[in-house]
Structure 1
Amino acid sequence: MEKAERSLAEPVNRVGLEGPKVEVFKGLKQFSVHLQVLMLEKGFVLLLIGFLLGRALILSHLTPFSLPFFAAVFMLRRECAPLALIGLLAGSLTLSIEQIGYSFSCIVLFLITYRLLKNFHREHTVSLPFFVFFTVMAVKSVFSFFQSGQQFLPYDVLMAAIESSLAFVLTLIFMQSIPFLSLKKRIKTLKIEEVVSLIIMLASITSGTIGWSLYGLSIEHIFSRYLVLVFSFISGAAVGSTVGVVTGLIFSLASVSSFFQMSLLAFAGLLGGLLKEWRKAGAAGGLIIATLLAGMYGEQGVPIMQTLYESLAAIALLFLTPKMFTDQLAKLIPGTAEHSNEQQQYLRKMRDVTASRVEQFSDVFQALSKSFSHYNVDTLDDYEERELDMFLSHVTEKTCQTCFKKEQCWTTSFHQTYHLMKDVLYELDSGQAELSQKLSKELDIHCFRPKRVEEAMQQQLTYYQANQKLKKQVQDSRKLVAEQLRGVSEVMSDFAEEIQRERENHYHQEEQIFEAIEAFGLEIEHIDIYNLNKSNVDIEIIIPFGDNSHGECQKLVAPMLSDILGDNVIVHKEECEGGPAGVCHVTFRSAKAFAVETGAAHAAKGGGLVSGDSYSTIDLGAGKYAIAISDGMGNGERAHYESHETLRLLQQILKSGIEEKVAIKSVNSILSLRTTDEIYSTLDLVIIDLQDAVANFLKVGSTPSFIKRGSKIMKVEASNLPIGILQEFEVDVVSEQLKSGDLIIMMSDGVFEGPKNVENHDLWMKRKIQEIETEDPQTIADLLMEEVIRTRSGEIEDDMTVVVAKVEHNLPKWTSIPISFPKRKKKIS
């Protein structure tokens, strides 16, 4: 019973404990938000920064920070300028009464001159540093004149020029840095000059703490080392050492006694960045080592323990810094892992948005395709009925309206008359010159004026047929648009999938390949792996031009990659920039499992120059290879144009990625709709998959093809009419699994039906192919052409084309080079 009560009470207690935690968390979050609004949006952080910059010194008596900071705030955040002014004057007051007068005079003169001359300048950001320069120059010269007993000394003029120049540069720096102090500014990434400007601004602000101490520890030393720790921990050795040098330089300019701080901070930034893999502990260790080494050879009279305590205080501040703050800062600095992840996330988001839009367009095209291809049967039937009624009304208007049997035919015997007139129409529409004997007899019995009705129908039939043909063309056009839209929709859908395929990280594999190739004695500058899948390897390597002057990539690198990856890798593309410092960008990809070698022979009718046949070999990409023959109707230029146009359209559509059947139907629709002439062409197409050697034969009105495998001859044929004859037809696809060494023989009808005095062309062609002993495609094509022409006694009765393709395993030109891996490493899979 007690256990039960305890178990029931535990959830209540847990909820009771979690409640205050949630409230505390919400309270802290709200406090953080209010603090950000107060400090950043309201501008109170500018008050604090102005106070520190107002008391910052250069060379012990120059104060070039006040006016540049106020001018930048006045230009970029004018509503916060009063707070910045109050902070600057308060900071100047901590130095001396004379200093606050100098700072106030500079700001007042700047405001007066800027307001008086604002109509003479347009680009405020360009002219602002010059206003600051001349204002500081004027005020500093006047103050130096009265301080030197109303005389200009060369030293005072030099100091005025130096302070004015520093103010000019600081204005540019503060204009880059002030936007960071705003909630409205959403910064995606920082440029290099912006990073340096931010570092200089932070170091300048830190120099305003010179002279402050806490329990004997220097505040400026603690904060400067904390600044170096943060940047070395976030960005590494390069930025860390830069922050150390810049901060130390500003401190040494502010106080010559702090010169040794530059070496300590720079060394701490370098070591902390090198040890950043150990996170905060590594950055802290770098600072401790730098402090101990610099403390041994540092300032005289400064105990090493005091310097060590200052470093420990900076380390404590680093460990107290929230991870959220360092992560947000790291996202802004180029070169950091967080920045790279942020960029990758942005690119992924853009990729997903693009893929989504492409998918939406694909859906739109798919919907449009369905809309165009949808036909309402009832609507079509009603339309045909209306067409028939209109036709009969025009006929009866010329014949039955003046006949005395009108009432008897169209009132008493309506259905009989109507069906009889339909039968007459259908017979005349079928192309018969005269009516059949049976229908003519029925018309004579039923109608008082049969000849007149038949003549009227013949006259009206011309308009009826033209209307029907126009309607058919509209339907065919709709079907063509529907097929094209469906093909485009499929291509866009595939493209969206390609966009969403993200490049995988292959850092470990890149390192393995890098080490293996360099161990062989070749130098590599960079390597990128995009895909390591079997038969789909995709690698890019940058090597010096001198290391590829004799084709080392093809002869050495590709064979080594073949052994490392266990795949047949070849050089796909190579772009070299010559010269002493030139490099070669080389793309390595998997070789296809099969290769196709082709040969062709063709001749025009009568030995002419222009043949009505056309042929083409097309590399479709994605591991597919196409061979096509087209035979235009007749001979000469017109036939050549038709066959060439057929192949050109087919090639363009196939390369876009549209399916083969849709491509052929599209070509058929285009060719049949573009002209009213009785022009057509045949198409003999085979598409070979170079990975698995599957061949798809698509024949439209073409002659059979043959596959020779050793002594075996196989015939491939289909029964489709030529392109352009029918508006609508189904494309038959015949698939065959090829083997290495197979020969594909394709030919036009001029070759297949060319032999004279041959009854069975199939048997004759099979026998001739079987008798050929060579396996060279070009030789086979020439021999077949010669055999056909010889049967005609040297005469060429028709255009003739033969294309022979040989499919065989794609053997590498260079054998793989074995690479020995250390025992702790395995081959890349």
Structure 2
Amino acid sequence: MATKEKLKTRAARAGEEMRSTGRLVLHAPALVRTTECVMRFLLGAVLSGAEIFGGYAPFGLAIVGASGSGLDGFSALLGACFGYLSFQGFTEGLRYVAAAILVFSVSFAFYDIRLYRKVWFMPLVTALLDAVTGFVYLSKKGWFTEDTIFFATELLLAASAVYFFRTAFSPWTQKREGTGLTMKQTVSLLILGGTVLITLSKITILGDTISLGRFAAALAVMVTGYQCGLGAGAAVGVTTGLAMDIAAGGAPFYSMAYGFAGLMTGVFRKQGKLFAALTYVLSNAVAVLWTWSDGLQIAILYEVFIASVLFLLLPERFFRWAGALTVTEPKRDTTSKARAYVKERLDATAEAFRALGESLRTTFAPAGPNDNDAAVVFDRAADRVCRKCALQSSCWQRDYVTTFNALNDALPAMMDRGRGEAADFPAHFSNRCLRFSAFLNAANEELTALLYRRQYKARLQENRSAVCREYGALAEVLGAAAAEFGTELSPDPLREKRLKQHMTALGLEGDAAVFYDAAGRLRIEVEGPRLDGLKTDGELKKLSALMNMPLRQVVKEEGRRADRLVFAQAEPLMAVAGVAARKKDGQTVSGDTGAWFKLDDGSLYVLLCDGMGSGPEASEDSTLAVRLLEQFLRAGVAPETALRTLNSALALRGEERAGFTTIDLLRVDLFTGEAAVYKYGAAPTYVRKGETVSRITGSALPAGLSAGEGGAPDVIALKLEAGDLVLLVSDGVTGGGDDIWLRQALGAFRGDSPKDLACALIDAGDERDVGVDDRTALVLCIGARNE
């Protein structure tokens, strides 16, 4: 096995060194290992003397089981054997010596087996071997009830001590990097120290008046309470006091006295060492007086007094050293640092894209005159035709003003028509020109080239503007994400405590967090196994009552863990949607596409897009627009930013394939009722409030027709309340005619189902014979949520 081979290798190396040099040199690692082995030996010897119940001593076995199979385990075995034989004599100690040898043998034999690494293996082995050897001894005395209980308790303590002793040594044996101890390691060290004190309590001086163990316990409690505060002082006091009570085999007097004294020392520790020492002495004196009827424990006062004198004499660096030992490992909550780091990176990236967009915008700006001037049409035509003409000097020099005026008079008609005709020119010019036909053809060619250049420049400038705007939009999105990362969530400790108590009452285990999001809305997240009990409607009502506000369960999203539940504050408003649609006569699919969805923040979005024309191609355009826009909005992108980005993308897409789509977007905040309508060339939107029906229109072109600076959507803000109706329609519903009948139908509707109204509006189109286009009506009814 690996350990055996390692020991053989080290022994052979040491032997070779002695033969070659005549001496054995201990290097620094060897000295450290020697010190560790000595400590294990001493602990094994001391813990073997820690007796409970008048003769049971399982703690020496526990240190052997916790030390492993190497030199540490062997040293602990030697110490335990020495201690058991010294404290209990040969007859009684032989039982524990045999058990200790068996424990070490099992550890040595199974060291390389995976089973050995299980946390329960050595505790169980130690208890079983203690039971085997103890069974023989106990059988000779007889199985009395009291002895059986004590023996079972010893086995339990032996297994527990192995686990806690190994945990106490883990900061050194595992070579773990860290700045402090975990709570489990701190408790384990207290248990180890308490068992050592049980043995030390047997050592007395001054005629059995003062116990060395109780003196050490009093000093430890005093130092801990002064250095670490009332919590640590009380914990160490109770632990050491319990050890002393076990050693004395009496009532829990020392637990009460030391715990109370440690607590009071921690309370007054900031008043200085002298005041802390006096507080500790007086607290123990009060504890002694409380036991007047049971016999005064005067010895504790001597021990406490001597301990207080030594306490006052100890240097400050000793207290700092003691405080360092009791420092627990801090929680490594790096979430805030990670959020700050990501926010900084997002801010820097957003600024970079913003600067890039501004730089490109400046670069793409027109630098001065270019060849798009209409005057170049005749200049270039003249260069091609008039250069070799006999009348060149007459037309372009002597009669330049006459020629200029003639061409200037013809230019407007040519530009409007896109080509020139002979009738556009004055008769005195066309009759006099010797090469008029060639001049007109050259002028038309140059005019065509000019118009192409203008179209190309316009499209290029439009695309450049779209690119610059996209960089700006990307910077806005990144900036918004950075701001969201920088937002601190506000916890609600009181409600969180209520939730944890409720889960405990239901028998549920898990982590619960109650906090307010960036908008100030309550949010609950629970993680743990078997949370199905919280998903019922009844439990949701109980949680709402417990939190003193209505809650709703957030619908499980794709990728969300099954053992995680999220509840959010319920919105005071709700919406019911109804939709009806009919495709154009003779078409297999409709070019209209609609959608509605709600986000976790209480925002409701309603979308209606109408593709150019009808049929599959129109359906493809509108479906793409709805799908992309929904993805943007679900990702948290602001509606106007999302619409501008989509408009630019559709415009660039239209260079390869002509097509556009209208966009009608309604956003409603179900918490406040604040709403906005965003339009790209869409049909009017109708809002009914009470008996009044208002009509909302816009002037923006459909999405995909303009990617330039003028490609912003129309934005109309409004306020909605319970009982209001909002109607979104495609232009096929009215057929391009008047909409008085539609407003009257909306104002007269008194039904409960929005779908009935939508169907009625579509059916009315059949009566009005407007089946020349796709028709879609989407009705949204705002109502108050039932508590």
- Which TM-score band (shorter chain)? 0.5 to 0.7
Residues 1:615 and 1:201: Cα distance change in structure 2 (over 3 Å) = same
Residues 1:277 and 1:778: Cα distance change in structure 2 (over 3 Å) = farther
1:797 aligns with 2:772: yes
Give the structure 2 partner of residue 623 of structure 1: 602
1:284 shift after superposition = 5.4
- The amino acid across from 2:779 in the alignment is V
Whether the aligned pair in 1 keeps the contact of 2:762 and 2:777 (CA below 8 Å) is: yes
Q: Which of 181, 187, 196 is 2:178 aligned to?
A: 187
Residues 1:188 and 1:466: Cα distance change in structure 2 (over 3 Å) = farther
Q: Distance in 1 between matches of 2:317 and 2:290?
A: 26
- The amino acid across from 2:469 in the alignment is E
1:743 aligns with 2:743: no
Whether the aligned pair in 1 keeps the contact of 2:531 and 2:563 (CA below 8 Å) is: yes
1:333 aligns with 2:328: yes
Q: Which of 688, 704, 707 is 2:687 aligned to?
A: 707
1:612 shift after superposition = 1.0
Whether the aligned pair in 2 keeps the contact of 1:245 and 1:262 (CA below 8 Å) is: no
What's the CA shift string for 1:768-806, capped at 9, x where partnerless? 3334332421111111111221233xx833211011111
- Report which stretch shifted further, 412-421 or 779-788: 412-421
Q: Distance in 1 between matches of 2:751 and 2:351?
A: 53
1:698 aligns with 2:678: yes
Q: Distance in 1 between matches of 2:640 and 2:441?
A: 46
1:636 shift after superposition = 0.8
1:529 aligns with 2:504: no
1:358 aligns with 2:337: no
1:603 aligns with 2:582: yes
- Report which stretch shifted further, 702-711 or 235-244: 235-244
Whether the aligned pair in 2 keeps the contact of 1:134 and 1:164 (CA below 8 Å) is: no
SS in 1 for 2:694: strand
Whether the aligned pair in 2 keeps the contact of 1:217 and 1:309 (CA below 8 Å) is: no
1:811 aligns with 2:770: no
**For 1:299-698, what aligned pairs fall within 5 Å after superposition?**
303-309=299-305, 312=308, 332-334=327-329, 339=330, 343=332, 347-374=335-362, 377=365, 379=367, 381-382=368-369, 384-385=370-371, 398-399=384-385, 431-435=417-421, 437-439=423-425, 444=430, 449-459=435-445, 465-508=451-494, 510-511=496-497, 528-531=513-516, 536-540=521-525, 548=534, 551-562=537-548, 568-573=549-554, 587-606=566-585, 608-676=587-655, 677-698=657-678
Q: Distance in 2 between matches of 1:723 and 1:555?
A: 45
Residues 1:419 and 1:235: Cα distance change in structure 2 (over 3 Å) = farther
Q: Distance in 1 between matches of 2:490 and 2:506?
A: 26
What's the CA shift string for 1:597-648, capped at 9, x where partnerless? 1111000112654101111113244332222221112111011111111222
SS in 1 for 2:650: helix
**Which stretches in structure 1 are left out of the alignment for 5+ residues?**
1-66, 68-77, 95-127, 144-152, 563-567, 576-582, 755-759, 814-829
Q: Distance in 1 between matches of 2:599 and 2:401?
A: 61
Whether the aligned pair in 1 keeps the contact of 2:354 and 2:475 (CA below 8 Å) is: yes
Q: Distance in 1 between matches of 2:198 and 2:256?
A: 19
Residues 1:632 and 1:333: Cα distance change in structure 2 (over 3 Å) = same
Q: Distance in 1 between matches of 2:407 and 2:27?
A: 93
TM-score by length of 1: 0.62
Q: Distance in 2 between matches of 1:222 and 1:694?
A: 73
Give the structure 2 partner of residue 120 of structure 1: none
Whether the aligned pair in 1 keeps the contact of 2:754 and 2:781 (CA below 8 Å) is: yes
What's the CA shift string for 1:716-753, capped at 9, x where partnerless? 21222222223333432222333321111221111112
- The amino acid across from 1:665 in the alignment is R
1:322 shift after superposition = 8.4
Q: Distance in 2 between matches of 1:328 and 1:137?
A: 27
Whether the aligned pair in 2 keeps the contact of 1:702 and 1:722 (CA below 8 Å) is: yes
- The amino acid across from 2:441 in the alignment is E
Q: Distance in 2 between matches of 1:531 and 1:616?
A: 30
**Which stretches in structure 2 are left out of the alignment for 5+ residues?**
1-10, 12-25, 43-66, 83-93, 112-161, 270-275, 557-561
1:492 shift after superposition = 3.0
- Report which stretch shifted further, 778-787 or 533-542: 533-542
Residues 1:155 and 1:174: Cα distance change in structure 2 (over 3 Å) = closer
Q: Distance in 1 between matches of 2:37 and 2:705?
A: 94
What's the CA shift string for 1:371-409, capped at 9, x where partnerless? 333366551x24x24898998897667545655667787
Whether the aligned pair in 1 keeps the contact of 2:584 and 2:773 (CA below 8 Å) is: yes
SS in 2 for 1:605: coil
SS in 2 for 1:750: coil
TM-score by length of 2: 0.64
Whether the aligned pair in 2 keeps the contact of 1:132 and 1:171 (CA below 8 Å) is: no
- Report which stretch shifted further, 782-791 or 764-773: 764-773
What's the CA shift string for 1:89-127, capped at 9, x where partnerless? 9999x9xxxxxxxxxxxxxxxxxxxxxxxxxxxxxxxxx
Residues 1:132 and 1:501: Cα distance change in structure 2 (over 3 Å) = same
Residues 1:513 and 1:489: Cα distance change in structure 2 (over 3 Å) = same
Residues 1:82 and 1:641: Cα distance change in structure 2 (over 3 Å) = closer
Residues 1:740 and 1:137: Cα distance change in structure 2 (over 3 Å) = closer
Q: Distance in 2 between matches of 1:498 and 1:587?
A: 19
- The amino acid across from 1:333 in the alignment is T
SS in 1 for 2:704: coil
Q: Distance in 2 between matches of 1:134 and 1:738?
A: 77
1:177 aligns with 2:151: no
Q: Distance in 2 between matches of 1:225 and 1:481?
A: 77
1:223 shift after superposition = 4.7
- The amino acid across from 2:537 in the alignment is G
Whether the aligned pair in 2 keeps the contact of 1:614 and 1:629 (CA below 8 Å) is: yes
Q: Distance in 1 between matches of 2:258 and 2:462?
A: 75
Q: Distance in 1 between matches of 2:404 and 2:318?
A: 94
Whether the aligned pair in 1 keeps the contact of 2:194 and 2:239 (CA below 8 Å) is: no
SS in 2 for 1:733: strand
SS in 2 for 1:736: strand
Residues 1:762 and 1:130: Cα distance change in structure 2 (over 3 Å) = same
Identity in percent: 19
